[in-house]
Amino acid sequence: MAEANALNAETPPELVELRHSIDNIDAAMLHLLAERFKCTRKVGELKARLGIAPADPEREAHQIARLRSLAVTADLAPEFAEKFLGFLVREVIRHHELIRDGGLDVGRPAGAGESA
Amino acid sequence: MAEANALNAETPPELVELRHSIDNIDAAMLHLLAERFKCTRKVGELKARLGIAPADPEREAHQIARLRSLAVTADLAPEFAEKFLGFLVREVIRHHELIRDGGLDVGRPAGAGESA
| CATH number of residue A58's parent domain | 1.20.59.10
More confident residue, B41 or A104: B41
B65 domain-assigned: yes
B111 domain-assigned: no
B115 domain-assigned: no
Say whether B77 and A108 touch across the interface (CB within 8 A).
Answer: yes
β partners of residue A76? B110
More confident residue, B100 or B109: B100
Q: Give the pLDDT confidence score for residue A114 in this predicted structure.
A: 31
* Residue B27 burial (CB count, 10 A): 14
- Number of structural domains in chain A: 1
User: What is the complex's ipTM, to 2 decimals?
Assistant: 0.81
A54 domain-assigned: yes
Q: Which domain holds residue B11?
A: 2-100
Distance from CA of B97 to the nearest CA of A (A): 17
Amino acid identity for residue B20 in this structure: H
pLDDT digits over A57-109, tens only? 999 999 999 999 999 999 888 998 999 999 998 878 777 777 677 765 544 55
Percent of chain B with pLDDT over 90: 54
Average pLDDT of span B30-52: 93
> Taking CA atoms, what residue in A is nearest to B67?
A27
Residues of B in contact with A76 (CB under 8 A): 30, 33-34, 37, 109-111
Distance from CA of B48 to the nearest CA of A (A): 12
- Strand segments (E) across chain A: none
